[in-house]
Structure 1
Amino acid sequence: MADHIHIVSFDVPFPADYGGVVDVFYKVKALHELGIKVHLHCFEYGRGEQTELEKYCAEVYYYTRQEGHKGFSLQLPYIVASRNDEQLWKRLEADNYPVFFEGVHCTYGLSSGAVTKKNIAIRLHNTEFEYYKQLGKWETSLVRKAYMQHESRLLKRYEATLKDYRILSISQNDCSTYQKTFKAGNISYLPAFIPNTIVTSKTGKGNFVLYHGNLSVAENEKTASWLLEKVFHELETPFVIAGKNPPDRLVELAQKYPHTCMVVNPGEDELNDLMQKAQVHVLPSMIQSGIKLKLLNALFKGRHVIANNAMLNGTGLEAACQLANNPTEMKYQIFRLFHKEFTDDDVQIREGLLQNNFNNRKNAEQLMRALQ
């Protein structure tokens, strides 16, 4: 097993405060704990340099992402074309250490021929062309919708060129899609790296239902609105929506329902407290992609979890959740679980399932074996 690795990250992975960078940060940390010297390369576009990363890395480099027209290309997806830096490619080629690209976002050096190493792998965070296609469906801005559709077409063409590389996907579904769509033959599942190590769910009962997410993201806003208009408009069950930067229209919609509370921009401690006090977590998704780390958070910290197929498919976590794919099923499961005690047996079953799949040390070892 190699004792050095280059990791090229699409963003600065600290603070670990949203899905993609959570996986990157806790991967870096797990590799460090294995004794691997991590050479981290970050594209920076607003998060700044972070001294915390130096605790876990032999070296940390930052590169400016070429945003706006500077990163535009007629041939390449914007998320790829905007992450190009000659100094980065030279550093990767200067030694024989393996390279791990975080997302197709960071693979410009492969498409241009600037990186010619053989011991590389790509982390697939999503089937990106499908992700952008689905995002476009939920955009209300015609300009943003057109951009998402255009990016999806470019991504499908671009992702097809990566099929012969070693790929480690974050979900089983993404493996299947790459195998079927691109005939990828060297792809396997590597679970997400996560902050939680033990289940801290409280036994007993809570007294409200919780939905949480980054509410400035169109999909999450639509999900919260759907829950209010299609599920909780007929239920009198206390309902809390918590998340970052909700748009005014969502705040106004929530205020129409006397049993609904909106918690705007909760801090980490406040959100953890809400998650542990909730009786039921409702986590439907409008988009099927990768794995949602908010689902893992709810399973490690919360009581009962209700989710739909789009959230659960390919995660291996179906047995830990109650399935609801439409408003009728969602209302039934909320009614059923709101008064159902969460027991020690529930905690033990959940812990066994999660620890079997989401063991950071075991998964770090799997990553390094893939790069041999």
Structure 2
Amino acid sequence: MKELHIISFNYPYPPSYGGIIDVYYKIKALSDLGIKTHLHCFADQIPSTIDREIKEITENVFFYRKKKNPLLYFSSVPFAAAIRNSDILLKNLEKFKAPILFEGLQTTRIIYFLKDNGHKFYLRYHNNETEYYNGLSLSERNIFKKIIYKIESLKYTGYQKKLLKQFETVFCLSEKEYQEVNTCSKNAQLVHIFHGNASVKPLDKKGNYFLFHGDLTTADNKRALNETIDLFKTLPQYKLIVASDRANEEIKRKISAVENISLTPIQTTENLHQLLENAHANILISYQNSGTKVKLFNTLYNSRFVIINGNITDDPFLMNLCLYGTDMNEIRQQIITSAEKEYHDTEKRKKILEKNHSDKAKAEEMVKLIFKN
């Protein structure tokens, strides 16, 4: 029986945003291959019950509360890693002798306490954290948060460079990150995002609206939404739906002030898929160059046209499935053009997505490397 520890930066259910989507569907794909996962989750609040969907794909689930000590901001260790540290985690890892997969650098604070304990270490490299936090700093308007993000970016510069060499394999999400890690530590493996989609949905030629969806607590998504709202103010003939469970009062006021824009909660994966299926085109914009965004797969599998800027993906095959704009003027033109188009890309997407981006194939590749002996 093959067993694996997975240390997650958060509880991976529901799989409703970014990295957590990758974590959940990775565990599910590994479970389908017979891997017994001991899941360790850091969380702000420990849930009272474990969701059935998690129970069905794991052997054990352990929770650890993130530390709340603000003095950790002054630690030389990045704050996101410093708050994810636990003596109980160390003890639980010793209960089962198995390889350890760390989900993101923010879960790796304990690695130096484990070095002599016979575990093999693997890393899912979700972001180049130095670039990620620098991007957040540039997008953030709040001056206090801007400074915090910049400091975190500087801390990660040395932290990730030193730490990457500790892993047997670093599983990267994008070609860009693969090249960066391989230059630094020679242990990179390119394994694209786990997204949970099995087949491309056949859809009618026309949808009913344009769709913007995402986690509106992040500076990057808030900036992208503000740009998109400004765009649709100049396009009153087109309806835009903003889908998110995480919109603050300022965002709600901005949306309600524009007649052709409305806000709807996502609530469940099924609800999101329904929104995608009824959309004519999706607006995906980012100001952070960090590889392929997971929401791109959701839109390509479950919706019609996808309008992107250059930071949504660095994969040329995926870019070929999208409508591309280098700036907001070009994005605006793609909105106007796509509104008049009929959608006929189902077969084209099937050839690329179902062949090259299936979760099963990615899980098999990871299993081959983690359990090679």
Global fold match (TM > 0.5): yes
* Preserved CA contact (<8 Å) 1:231 1:327: no
Select between 291-300 and 87-96 the one with higher mean Cα deviation: 87-96
Residue 50 of structure 1 corresponds to which residue in structure 2? 50
Q: Distance in 2 between matches of 1:174 and 1:315?
A: 15
- Secondary structure of 1:287's counterpart equals coil
1:201–1:276 Cα contact (<8 Å) kept: no
> Given the alignment of the two structures, is residue 205 of structure 1 paired with residue 206 of structure 2, yes or no?
yes
Q: TM-score, normalised by structure 1?
A: 0.91
Alpha carbons 1:205, 1:339 under 8 Å: kept: no
CA distance in 2, matches of 1:226, 1:154: 30
- Alignment deviations for residues 43-95 of structure 1 (CA, whole Å, 9 cap, x no partner): 12225151422221122212222123365452101111111112322333455
Query: CA separation of 1:232/1:311 partners in 2, compared to 1, >3 Å: closer, same or farther?
Result: farther
- In structure 2, the CA distance between the partners of 1:257 and 1:115, relative to structure 1 (3 Å rule), is farther
State how far apart, in whole Å, the 1-side matches of 2:96 and 2:254 are. Answer: 56
Residue matched to 2:319:
318
Alignment match, 1:22: 21
Q: Distance in 2 between matches of 1:222 and 1:294?
A: 17
Shift of 1:167: 0.5
State the SS of the aligned residue for 1:317: helix
Using a 3 Å threshold, how does the CA distance of structure 1 residues 91 and 35 change in structure 2: closer, same or farther?
same
Over residues 236-256 of structure 1, what are the superposed CA-to-partner deviations in whole Å (9 max), with x where a residue is unaligned?
A: 222222212323333333334
Residues 1-372 of structure 1 mapped to structure 2, 5 A cutoff: 3-46=2-45, 48=47, 49-52=49-52, 53-69=54-70, 71-72=72-73, 74-93=75-94, 95-113=96-114, 116-117=117-118, 119-164=120-165, 165=167, 166-180=169-183, 183-230=184-231, 232-234=233-235, 236-264=237-265, 267-314=268-315, 316-343=317-344, 346-371=345-370, 372=372
- Evaluate the alpha carbon distance shift between residue 35 and residue 258 of structure 1 in structure 2; reply closer, same or farther with a 3 A threshold: same
Q: Is the 8 A contact 2:241 2:261 kept in 1?
A: yes
Deviation, structure 1 residue 314 = 4.2
Deviates more, 1:214-223 or 1:160-169: 214-223
SS in 2 for 1:310: coil
**1:76 maps to amino acid:** V
Q: CA shift at 1:156, angstroms?
A: 1.1
Shift of 1:309: 0.7
Instruction: Answer whether contact 2:6 2:100 (CA < 8 A) is retained.
Output: yes
- Aligned residue pairs total 367
> What is the rounded CA distance, in whole Å, between the counterparts of 2:257 and 2:39 in structure 1?
48
Unaligned runs of 5+ in 2: none
Counterpart CA distance in 2 for 1:51 and 1:244 is 19
Letter matched to residue 218 of structure 1: A
Is the Cα–Cα contact under 8 Å of residues 168 and 189 in structure 1 kept in the other structure? Answer: yes
CA displacement at 1:217 relative to structure 2: 2.5
Once structures 1 and 2 are overlaid, which stretch shifts more, 199-208 or 99-108? 199-208
Change (3 A) 1:73 1:285: same
Deviations 1:212-245 (Å, cap 9, x if unpaired)? Answer: 1122322222211101224542452222222123
Q: Spell out structure 1 runs of 4+ moving beyond 6 A.
A: none
Residues of 1 paired with 2:203 and 2:111: CA distance?
47
Flag the 1:58–1:247 CA change in 2: closer, same or farther, 3 A.
closer
Q: Which runs of 5+ in 1 are unaligned?
A: none
